[in-house]
Amino acid sequence: MEYIVNAEEMRLADINTSRVFGLSGAVLMERAALEVVNAIMSDHAGKGLNSAPRVLIFAGAGGNGGDGMAVARILHQRGLQTLLVTVGEIADLSPAARDQLDTAMKYSVPLICLRQTDEVEAVRMVTEWRFDYVVDAIFGTGVSRPLSGIQAAAVSLINLLTDKENGGLTCVSIDMPSGINSDNGEVCGIAVKADLTVTMNHKKRGLVLYPGTAYAGRIIKADAGITAESFLERLPSVRAYSEAPEELLPPRNGSFNKGDYGKLLIIAGNGCIGGAAILCARGAMAVGAGMTKVFTEKKNRTALLSTVPETLVDVWDEEEPVDRTLERLGNILPWAGACVIGPGIGTDERAKAMLGLVLDECEIPLVIDADAINIISGNEEFKESLRAYAEKGVQPVLTPHVGEFARLSGMEIADVKKDVVDAARRTAGDLKCTLLLKDSRSVTAQAGRDESVINLTGNSGMATAGSGDVLAGMIGALSLRGTKIGDPASVGAYIHGIAGDAAAAVLGEAAMSAGDIADAVKEVFR
C-alpha cells in the first residue's frame, strides 16, 4: 500500500527529515528539482523530438518556488533555453527561495519579475519568447484560500500559454497544480491545468480526489528523499492499494471443496429489478465464492437460472404474506457463511421486515447495499440495530453511493464531496460499521480505526446501472474468502476498479456495462 498524505502530514515529514535524519532543506530541494528536470527530459524524449526542450518557469515565493528556481538553474547549466519568472515581490521570498534565486542569478539564469507594477511588460516578454514547456512552481501544498492578485494572474497566464486548442505548451506542475487544495482537491478560485504533475515523495489527497485529479494530468511520484521513516510514529491516516490483485488474497487451497470456500446468501431483486440479483451473483462468483444462493422474488427464478445456472435459488412470492417470506428466509439464514442484502429489493414492508430479520438473527459477515441502505437511512430503530450488529463481533459493511450516503448521514451532497475521507470516517464511527463511500474516488473507513483507504482504480464507464450490484457481490464473496491485506470492502473496490479499467480498455468507457465489469474480473485474475 502507499500513503496518501495531507498538507500537515507532508509538512511534518519534511521537518523530521531535516531535524531527525539530518538531510538539509537545500539537499531536498536539489533532489526535487532534479526529479522535475528528469521528468521534463523524459517527456520530451518520448515525443520523438531531436531538439532540446525550451522551458519557462513560474516560481512563487515559498519552497515550491525554490524548487522551480533550482529547476531553472539546472536546465540553464545544461545549456537549455530557460526563462525564470518570479511571481510577486522579491522581498517576499522565503529564505530558501531567496537562496535559490541568488544562486540562479550567479549563474546568469535569464530572469524577469512578474509584479503588479510591470505585469503588462512581463507578459509581453514571456509571450514573445518561444518555449515547449511551462513549469508551474507557484504554490505547493499550502493553498486553502482562493487565489488573488498577482498569483491568480500568473495562473491565468499559464493556462493561456498551455491552452491546447491554440497549440499550447506542455505544463508541468511541481508537487501540486497551483490553486488546488492539497487536502481535498478543491479548486481555490482558479488553478493551473497541468499535463504532468511531479509530486514529491508521496501522493497528496488533492491529487487523487476530484476535481483536483482532473487538473493534475499524468502524475509521477518522485523520490526526493522524504521516505516513510520521516513520519516517525505518526503515520498518515489515508492509504491506497498499489499491489497486483492476487497479492491481496490468500492462495487457493487444493484440498478445499466448494463448501470450504464459503456459502454466500444474496437477498436481492424484487419483480421489477431482477437484474440486480443476477449481477450481484455474477460478482460473487467472479472472486471465488464456493456456493452462492439467491433469495429473490419468484418472477426472477427463470432469469437467474438461465443466466447464472451455478446459483442456488430460493424465492418469495409477492402475493404471499410477509410472515411467510420471513419464515422462508429464516430457514435459509443458518446455511449462510456471509450475506448480502439490498440490491433491488425495494423499500416496502416486506423489504424492511427481511432486513430487520437479518440484523436481528445473523452473526456473520454482512454487506448492506442499495435499497437496504435507504431503509436504514430513514429509520432510527434500524440504525440502532445496525450499531448493535457490531457487538456480535463483526462489523457490517455498508456500500452507499454519495446520494445514498447523504441520506444516511444527513449531510448535503456538496458537503460530503468537500471532504469524503472525513465524512466516511465520522459516519462509520457513528454507525459502528465498515463504510465504503462510493464516488469517483471511493473511500473505505472502519469504526474504531483512524486509517482510511482511497481507491485509485476505475473510470467513468463504471458509472452505470448495476455496477454497484456487482461490487456488493464481490465484497460478500471476499468476506468468505478473507484477504491477506486490508478489508474485503476496500479490496473489493480496488479489484472492481481494475476490472472496470480492463473492460474500458477493450470496449471504451461509454459502451461498457455492469456485466462487462463482472466478466473482466475473471480476466484480471487470469
User: What pLDDT is attached to residue 443?
Assistant: 98
Superfamily of domain 255-525: Ribokinase (3.40.1190.20)
Instruction: Find the radius of gyration of the CA atoms of the chain.
Output: 27
Q: Does the global pTM surpass 0.75?
A: yes
- pLDDT tens digits for range 72-113: 999 999 999 999 999 988 999 999 999 999 999 999 999 999
- CA–CA separation, 418 and 497 (whole Å): 22
CATH node for 2-236: 3.40.50.10260
Indicate the SS3 state at residue 80. coil
- pLDDT exceeds 90 at position 381: yes
Residue 261: per-residue pLDDT = 87
Report d(CA 521, CA 509) in Å as an integer: 16
* Angle formed by the axes of helices 95-106 and 25-46, nearest 10°: 60
> Per-residue pLDDT averaged across 272-287, rounded?
96
pLDDT, tens only, 163-186? 988 889 999 999 999 999 999 999
Query: How many Å apart are CA 292 and CA 281, to the nearest integer?
Result: 7
CA dihedral (46, 200, 88, 82) positive or negative: negative
Residue 257: what residue type? N
What sign results for the dihedral spanned by CA atoms 468, 215, 11, 423? negative
Positions of CATH 3.40.50.10260 in the chain: 2-236
CA 387/CA 32 separation, integer angstroms = 47
Alpha-helical segments (H) within 370-526: 371-377, 380-390, 402-409, 413-418, 420-431, 467-481, 488-507, 514-525
Q: What is the H or E stretch that residue 463 is in?
A: none
Average pLDDT, integer, range 252-263: 88
The reported pLDDT for the residue numbered 266 is 98
pLDDT digits (tens, 9 = 90+) for 28-71: 999 999 999 999 999 999 999 888 999 999 999 999 999 999 99
Work out the number of other CB atoms within 10 angstroms of the CB of residue 309. Answer: 8
Sheet with 366-368: strands ordered across: 203-204, 2-5, 238-240, 452-454, 443-446, 434-437, 397-398, 366-368, 338-341, 263-267, 291-297, 312-316
Whether 522 shows a pLDDT value over 80: the answer reads yes
Q: Where do the CATH 3.40.1190.20 domains begin and end in the chain?
A: 255-525
The per-residue pLDDT for range 109-151, each reduced to its tens digit, is 999 998 866 667 777 777 788 899 999 999 999 899 999 999 9
Distance CA 398, CA 442 (A): 13
**Contact between residue 280 and residue 470 where contact means Cβ atoms under 8 Å apart:** yes
Round the average pLDDT of the chain to a whole number and report it: 95
The residue to which cell 442456488 is assigned: 312
Long-range (24+ apart) CB contacts under 8 A made by 106-110 are: 107/73, 107/76, 107/77, 108/76, 109/72, 109/73, 109/76, 109/82, 109/84, 110/76, 110/82, 110/83, 110/84
Structure confidence by residue, pLDDT tens digits, 190-235: 999 999 999 999 999 999 999 999 999 999 999 999 999 999 989 9
pLDDT at 394 over 70: yes
pLDDT, average across residues 460-470: 97
**Whether the predicted pLDDT of 343 surpasses 90:** yes
